[in-house]
Structure 1
């Protein structure tokens, strides 16, 4: 551990406030590098986070006792798996999946708009969209999305509680779901010939097929990323636009600005809490000496609201330069699924903007922010104008 004075904090108390976004701002200003038993060294400033992202020689991604392909790996192993996985998020593949995504979003939005009393965005729109899109992308039965949503929510709770036994059980439970899908495809070689799951079964690394454990790890990472962050993103976008009808009007009149506008809204309220690293050697971050083998937690919510990088950082500006936006990370571990996520969010918002004249927070309701380690909202009531 550090030899200098160590600032301590408790994420379960310091971030469990009505609005953890503002709590992250307070931590960044008060204590930009802080230690907790739970998270190790927490990094809150943009410059420090970016340094960690770009220095994979000093900071390792091999942080989990469970196999994590490829985000829990370092080069050269990471490079081999990463090159294989990137093909699943190519421009052509994402474009081919867009009509399916649009069909799902159009149907869900249409049902929500017809609800004259309004809807609870998280449960009735955001998680349903994320779950159904994930099943469609993987080639899994649509009704399995209920199982994936339930699994993701229990996984988030186990992370919140630090329940390692439950996390291990959930990893095994997800592997059983994957095994069932793999067995179905192995038993019937004439179907599902081009779905993502079958294609993963045909991949090879080190001149051998991927193991069931490797495929399960890949799909688990994709599912957590899809359902957790996409649903959080939708709640964040709808909340911001409900509070800023001028931004709604601007996007209705300027749909071409939607992709960059989404990235900017999610910069101000990030849909992902953090990522982890472990130090390979002694380092100094933000004036703190940190020894080799120490855990490091990168706080996206804070880094993307750093006033040293973004002028009036808490304000959404659709004309802002996005070069320093860390929404999808940076460096060799930048999110490989970013093209798919951007397409899904753009398609969903296009469906919503085209099928409504406006939306606002339902009168008398109070948005409930998600708490550590989740992001976005736990409850968001909106009323649509058709």
Structure 2
């Protein structure tokens, strides 16, 4: 087990690090690319080291949590049948079917943005889009928008504080939402809505229908991932484009370039900061010996800026960097929902760019960056004209 009395190589929660996390991670990647801290345990900063972990699931297990985590926290062979159940929900055909709904939500939100007046991108746009799009995809009622919004904020505060009691209470609250959604469909029987949630209830794993515990874990992972990363992604994209008006105009003129451009902007400024693994044996990595049973933080926010792979990490080179971009991970745990996230962000940006003439930071108001474990912004004041 970890020896928490060892001397830390860095302190990820200091004011200096939190003031500019990207700068701090860039510095650590050069100074101490495999680093120990009480907060993140072993942190890997380099692209090559992270790739090694992603490709060796026998040495670096995803079963980090003591709680059931479907399928994120599973290793093969347990992981495989759940993954096979999940992937069809993000097929090309499924994305084509959902895109018109996504576009309607995006167009409505863009249309309701205040014209020429400061507004908070996070509160009025990115978080609203994430909530509406997730509920629409899952077949959940609009009445869940506000409860889920409050739940996301409570979950974030509990996670940031490391308050285990609060985190457990937040988990129980989410379980209650899922219980009600499942019970509603069971009582409706043949009249239950034919949506993603109902379909998942009918999925068999190893010849057995998934239990409510498995369904709740799966839906919690989908929801946390979707609401957090989509909202963060939208705020990052608008912040970047507001500071690069030539690129914004170029993408307005050539929306076919949006998919690669979105992935590249999110490579430079990570919406999802990290993932975790645990060692199954003693292993040497980056010149450090890590014992068995140690937790490892894969810091996407650093690995995706590694100069050894990308050169100048802030240079916008979408085609050059496409194949090495770890935005959606790699290996057997590469994000199954990547096609959905890419479609949602592309459609939202198409609608935004086609409707908005100018985008700029609101004067005299300072944005507030989110801090680890969350990417993007807590507050992002902008002005658009249409």
TM-score range, shorter chain: over 0.9
Does structure 1 residue 273 correspond to structure 2 residue 273?
yes
Q: Separation in 2 of the partners of 1:192 and 1:263?
A: 37
Q: Separation in 2 of the partners of 1:134 and 1:108?
A: 15
Report 1:217-256 matches (<5 A): 217-256=217-256
1:41 counterpart residue number:
42
Q: 1:319 to 1:334 in 2, by over 3 A?
A: closer
User: How far is 1:208 from its partner?
Assistant: 1.4
1:95 counterpart residue number:
96
Does structure 1 residue 104 correspond to structure 2 residue 105?
yes
Q: 1:195 to 1:352 in 2, by over 3 A?
A: same
Contact 2:12–2:18 under 8 Å retained in 1:
no
Does structure 1 residue 284 correspond to structure 2 residue 284?
yes
* TM-score relative to the length of structure 1: 0.96
Contact 1:16–1:372 under 8 Å retained in 2:
no
User: How far is 1:6 from its partner?
Assistant: 6.3
1:349 counterpart residue number:
349
Moved more, 152-161 or 15-24: 15-24
Q: 1:319 to 1:203 in 2, by over 3 A?
A: closer
User: How far is 1:119 from its partner?
Assistant: 1.5
Q: 1:17 to 1:253 in 2, by over 3 A?
A: same
Contact 2:310–2:321 under 8 Å retained in 1:
no
- Which runs of no fewer than 5 residues in structure 2 stay unpaired? none
User: How far is 1:249 from its partner?
Assistant: 1.0
Contact 1:16–1:371 under 8 Å retained in 2:
no
2:378 counterpart residue number:
378
Task: List structure 1 runs of 4+ shifted beyond 3 angstroms.
Answer: 190-193
Report 1:72-87 matches (<5 A): 72-87=73-88
Q: Separation in 2 of the partners of 1:326 and 1:162?
A: 27
Q: Separation in 2 of the partners of 1:19 and 1:9?
A: 15
Q: Separation in 2 of the partners of 1:364 and 1:236?
A: 20
1:64 counterpart residue number:
65
* RMSD (CA atoms): 1.5
User: How far is 1:315 from its partner?
Assistant: 2.1
Contact 1:329–1:335 under 8 Å retained in 2:
yes
1:124 counterpart residue number:
124
User: How far is 1:78 from its partner?
Assistant: 0.3
Instruction: Number of aligned residue pairs: give it.
Output: 383
Q: Separation in 1 of the partners of 2:270 and 2:320?
A: 16
Q: Separation in 2 of the partners of 1:92 and 1:152?
A: 30
User: What SS is found at the alignment partner of 1:277?
Assistant: strand
Contact 1:139–1:192 under 8 Å retained in 2:
no
1:366 counterpart residue number:
366
1:55 counterpart residue number:
56
